[in-house]
Chain A
Amino acid sequence: MIDSKNMVEGVLVDDAPTKFQAFRTKTKRSFLNMIAEPNLYPMLFELGYTEREIDNFMFKRVARALVGFSVVGVVMYYYNPGLIILAVLIGFLLWKNYYTIVSKNYRNFIFARELDFWRLIRMLLPFLASDKSIYTILDEQSKILANTGLVSDKTYNHGSVEAHLKRLMADVYFEPGNVFNFISFAEACSNSDRAVLILSAIHDKAEYSEDASVVFELGEIATNELFKQVNEVTKHKLKKLNSAPPVIALSIIILVIGFAAGFITTILSQMAGVF
């Protein structure tokens, strides 16, 4: 059923963020949720998966670990029963591997979302001085985000800043003047107090005030936060460069081994010729 609250100007808004809020307050946990790591389900929710999808992942994860364990276990049982410990190890590694992948993706996602968020806020702040409505300003910024959005991976679409921004626009459209919409947007997109501060200041400027000087003070904070993220980007890109020198230096061994191998084979063939 399509809820009218999820429609903005005839466009359906993704309600994954709301589902995430509903999940947070839920107390009863499923069996798969209980055997998973405590922060696995929340992480996948924030990445934008529904509970059913996550249960599916978990089911596959359990199956993979069990299959790995039993195949290696059967082989080892006939080969050497003492080595069944190897099967346990492989099953455990298969089980753990999934969590490692998810948490790495989650870290990357959080980083990308933080960058997107502060870029959005930095670009948004100057326009608060104009007499446009807050809805128009948000709409324009969402178009920019859609054009140059950084989280382009399909799997991240639900939890991205763009999705949360659409949610915020829907909320602003249907219940204008509610500061908690802005605060929950800030909480969903960034975990810092500064985000909440800035978003509530933006709301206050848009609703009550003609003077934008407070917001421009906050612009300084937004710039600093943005460049913190930008520093992370440059660090990440420099790290890519740093992987080259060790490869070049260590691969000299290949040349030396090649020479040694050639030398030995030449000497052996000469000896074969002599005898």
Chain B
Amino acid sequence: MSSRGGSNRRTIEELNAHALSYVAPVTKTQMTRLVLGLGLGVGALMYLLTFRTWLAAIGFIIGVVVAFREVLPNYVDRIVANKAYVERNRFMNIMTQILTSPTKNFNDCLSDTMERLSQGTVLHDDLKLLLADIGDRGSLTHFLDFATKYGELEGDEAFSQYMEQLGVAFEAGLINLSTLKNLTSIHNDNQIVTDDFIRTKKAHLKDVSVIMGIACFIPVMLLMSMGYDVYIEAFAHNPLANAFSFAWLGLNGWTMIKYTRAYYDDNIMEVSL
């Protein structure tokens, strides 16, 4: 699951291509709402602090850039990685169950499992290719390629090992069910822990947004208590007060960017110390 989180940069086209290859991609509306929301938020805060339109425009641009660079890639990545992981998990569970059947041969098991998966996903396409290829000689290499792809690119070790074991089973004509069951249970456990972790973080984000909202309400309170004229003269158009405001914005912006990176870091097996 190492592809989850992190701050890898991608273009929007790549993101869309990646997202569209899974069942229900992130819609354009969702993306627009995220980017515009952040841009307008920063812009509005900037206008409230300075009452200057051009500074508000700069704030809007900064918000949009941060949304495109920091938030959106991680946001899409998390959804895509989760869907892909769940799909692989379903494959492993169904496959292990069907393999216990004494009457079916290996190819039947694989095609039966594929029928139950969501159609049109990357995993489904890859499996279709695999099923077409393993009629040939040397089918173990196809399984190994498959395993390498998911082990190194997606970082899903248990699934990668599972596919390798399937390859060995197919080659030897003898299925080692206890190994497969064990790998499946590792995969299930990982998914449960990751889901818990994400749920905890979502609850935390709610708390932080409340605190952030209260912090942004302070200028409004100053404006209401001091009156418009005093506020403009003493705060909004005062260079010294502006320096403090920008320092506040910078500190909070940097904190929130760091928070975002930590928030989207869903990998439970790796930690950078």
Contact = CB atoms under 8 A, between A and B. Distances in A.
A116 to B, nearest CB: 10
A122 B178 CA distance: 14
Contacts of A111: 273
Contacts of B155: 148
A234 interface: yes
Contacts of A144: 151, 157, 161
A125 interface: yes
Interface stretch (B78-86, B108-116, B196-204): B196-204
A269 B236 CA distance: 16
Contacts of A237: 197, 262, 265, 271
Given A129-B178, A255-B248, A248 B157 contact: no
A126 interface: yes
Pick from A127, A144, A234, A262 the residue with the most CB of B within 10 Å.
A262
Contacts of A126: 161, 178-179, 182-183, 186
Given A233-B268, A245-B208, A262-B238, A255 B193 contact: no
Interface string B200-215: 1100100110011011
Nearest to B155: A148
Interface string A167-209: 0000000000000000000000000000000000000000000
A130 interface: yes
B152 interface: yes
Contacts, number: 147
Q: How large, as a class, is the contact surface on chain B?
A: 35 or more
A137 to B, nearest CB: 11
Given A248-B208, A255-B244, A266 B233 contact: yes
A98 interface: no
Majority-rule SS of A interface residues: helix
B16 interface: no
Given A240-B262, A255-B245, A261-B241, A234 B179 contact: no
A257 B244 contact: yes
Contact of A148 (B157, B214, B271): B157
B256 interface: yes
A37 B233 CA distance: 61
Interface in A105-147: 108, 111-112, 115, 119, 122-123, 125-127, 129-130, 144, 147
Dominant SS among interface residues on chain B: helix
Contacts of A112: 271, 273
B166 to A, nearest CB: 13
B208 A125 contact: no
Contacts of A255: 218-219, 222, 244-245, 248
Contacts of B122: none
B211 A223 contact: no
Interface of B: 2, 151-152, 155, 157-158, 161, 165, 168, 176, 178-179, 182-183, 186, 189, 193, 197, 200-201, 204, 207-208, 211-212, 214-215, 218-219, 222, 230, 233-235, 238, 240-245, 247-248, 251-252, 255-256, 258-259, 262-263, 265, 268-271, 273
23 contacts: A112-B273, A130-B165, A130-B168, A130-B176, A147-B151, A148-B157, A223-B186, A233-B270, A234-B193, A234-B268, A237-B262, A244-B256, A247-B255, A248-B255, A249-B214, A251-B215, A251-B248, A255-B219, A256-B218, A258-B242, A258-B247, A262-B240, A263-B235
Closest 6 CB pairs of A and B: A258-B244, A262-B241, A262-B238, A126-B182, A108-B273, A240-B262
Interface of A: 108, 111-112, 115, 119, 122-123, 125-127, 129-130, 144, 147-148, 150, 212, 216, 219, 223, 227, 230, 233-234, 236-238, 240-245, 247-249, 251-252, 254-259, 261-263, 265-266
